[in-house]
Amino acid sequence: MQQPQDPYVFAVQLFYLAASAVVFALMLVQLVLASRKEREGVFNTWLKWIGPIFLVQVLVTIAAVIFLFAGAIKEEDVRVVLGQWILVFLAVGAFPGGLLVEQRARGSRKSSRWSWFFTVAVATITVLAISMVWILAVSGFISEKPQTFLDELAKSIPGLIILVPIAILAAPVEEAIFRLGMQGQLMALEKRGWCPKWATLVIPSTIWALGHAGVVTPHGLKEFQIFLVGLVLGVVYRRHGFGACVAVHLGLNCGALLLVPLEMYLFRS
């Protein structure tokens, strides 16, 4: 997330973190209320994810501190890395309960491996196309995009060493909160007739988009792009679950890193 630049950015990102904390709490409740057998069923899967997530975050944090003392990156960049620990802890805490909710819904979700790969491929191309169209469209009437920590980090090798793992880590962390946790819980409510289908897509996408406020002005432009991407990820989650969402999100972030030079050129020229 960006450092707050104005009251709007501060307010919506505070709401973003608050919503993430609520998901964390609800998923813990789900886990506590589950049977021992159900908890054992998700524990091994949780361990497979938590190790790499924590390892990457620890290595990125150590590298950021070293680069800071070497003068290769700014103090603001290190604060962003440290701030990511909040989302990491919330995601890791929400993950078991989210897996439990998904496990209960898995019986009604039938798909082949071919269908999984096809959906991931099409969805990844779609979200990258949305991002490309957004860059080309918005750069046409915005002459200067505010400098963000992403732009700063992309300018140097030490910065890229920090930026690439952050982009990779964002996929499982954000999907654990907003698709596995939030959308999964809303879909459970949908089954009971307490939540309309459209809300299971719109609510997580909207809140996730708010976490990207402050990237461009006027406000709402970047949020709208992320909202559309969130809808695609929501559809993928409904069809194939958490793993497919992480794959698409990872493809998006890796593709976005390749688009950074183009974006910087268009917004600066």
Give me the pLDDT at residue 1, please: 46
Give me the pLDDT at residue 205, please: 97
Indicate the pLDDT class of residue 238, thresholds 50, 70 and 90: very high
**Residues 236 and 109: beta-carbon distance below 8 Å:** no
Q: How far is CA 170 from the centre of its chain?
A: 5
Give me the pLDDT at residue 2, please: 45
pLDDT top residue among 265 and 28? 28
- Burial degree of 172 (CB within 10 A; 0-12, 13-18, 19+): buried
pLDDT average, residue stretch 142-163: 71
Give me the pLDDT at residue 49, please: 84
**Residues 60 and 83: beta-carbon distance below 8 Å:** no
Tell me the pLDDT tens digit for each residue of 38-69: 887 788 888 888 888 999 999 999 999 999 99
Give me the pLDDT at residue 23, please: 95
Q: Which residues contact 193 (CB under 8 A, 6 or more apart)?
A: none
CA distance 6 to 71: 28
pLDDT average, residue stretch 78-87: 89
pLDDT top residue among 71 and 110? 71
CA distance 5 to 73: 20
66-75, 161-170, 222-231, 256-265, range with greatest mean pLDDT:
222-231
Residue where the block lists tokens 């793993």: 243
Q: How far is CA 203 from the centre of its chain?
A: 14
72 phi and psi, to 5 degrees?
-85, -25
Distances (CA, A) of 139 to 31, 46, 143: 46, 41, 7
